[in-house]
Structure 1
Amino acid sequence: MRPTATVLVYSDDANTREQVRLATGRRPAPGLPTVEFIECATQQAVLDAMEAGGVDVCVLDGEAVPSGGMGLCRQLKDEIFRCPPVLLLIGRPQDAWLATWSRADAAVTHPVDPVEFADALAGLLRSRLSVEA
């Protein structure tokens, strides 16, 4: 097992990025590597980090401004070969269809529920790490 996994967190709101870090903890579930975060507050920072490589999962805030995570997710899925899985934070459960449009691999509502979030992130990390094995 790899010693660490890298999770990119995009939100223009520092509090949202903190909620993601706190909900994840050192690792989202037993048996997974510890998590290192790349925090991004702008779309360009996300694109630069993705260009650099090494990201295992992206967590994108669908409510971020001026560039929302849903449109950014669709862009990443269109432009990056073997794009890492994306967990989208959505404002309300009714927005799940937009998450589908964006091609997100999973979606959870915001504010972050720690148990729901950790479960979703763990599932995406497991799928990503099993593909690498």
Structure 2
Amino acid sequence: MSDAPATVLVYSSRPEVRAAVRTAVGRRPAADVGPVTWIECATDQDVIDTVDGGGVDLCILDGEAQPAGGLALSRQITVEVADRPALCVLIARQPDRWLAHWSQADATLPFPVDPLTAPTVVADLLRDRVGRRPAARR
């Protein structure tokens, strides 16, 4: 894996949730994963516009966000975006894992975010995503 930088979008209607995710994951979730650039989105429309613009490697979506939850956004992105970024949803209750499956997210993170687990999950998703990027044209 290269040290290619990665762009991670974090979505929540609550700024404290976005901050908790950024803090738990950090700027470099693993030694072999390039530095992370964070994009924060507070609305579902911001997420759609940003993903449609391209260049996002991973979206971390808050399943409890209001008025549009991250689970529904994950499903929408999967259906509507051909070369979609990796998707991870935050879930507050373990019984909601079936909803994460329905949303077609690639991974889940429990909320509150565990700073020991989150970097590993994010690094694994980024390794897979960056490894699948098409080679740059010369």
Could you say whether these structures have the same fold, taking a TM-score greater than 0.5 normalized by the shorter chain as the test? yes
Query: Could you tell me how far apart the structure 1 residues matched to 2:81 and 2:71 are?
Result: 15
1:83-122 map, 5 Å: 83-122=84-123
Q: State how 1:17-28 maps to structure 2 within 5 Å.
A: 17-28=18-29
Matches of 1:31 and 1:123, distance apart in 2: 10
1:35 and 2:30 correspond: no
SS state at 1:21 partner:
helix
Name the structure where helix makes up a greater proportion of residues: 1
Question: How many residues were matched structurally?
Answer: 133
Q: Which runs of 5+ in 1 are unaligned?
A: none
TM-score normalised over the length of structure 2: 0.93
Aligned residue number for residue 57 of structure 1: 58
Amino acid at match of 1:39: E
Q: Deviations over 1:14-44 (max 9, x none)?
A: 0000011111111111111000011000000
Which residue number corresponds to residue 8 of structure 2?
A: 7
> Rg bigger for which structure?
2
SS in 2 for 1:115: coil
Name the TM-score, length of structure 1 as normaliser: 0.96
Assess if the C-alpha contact under 8 Å between 2:3 and 2:32 holds in 1: no
For residue 45 of structure 1, what is the aligned residue in structure 2? 46
Instruction: Name stretches of at least 5 consecutive residues in structure 2 with no aligned partner.
Output: none
Percent identical across equivalent pairs? 49
What is the identity, as a one-letter code, of the residue corresponding to 1:42? T
**Once superposed, which parts of structure 1, at least 4 consecutive aligned residues long, lie more than 2 Å away?**
none
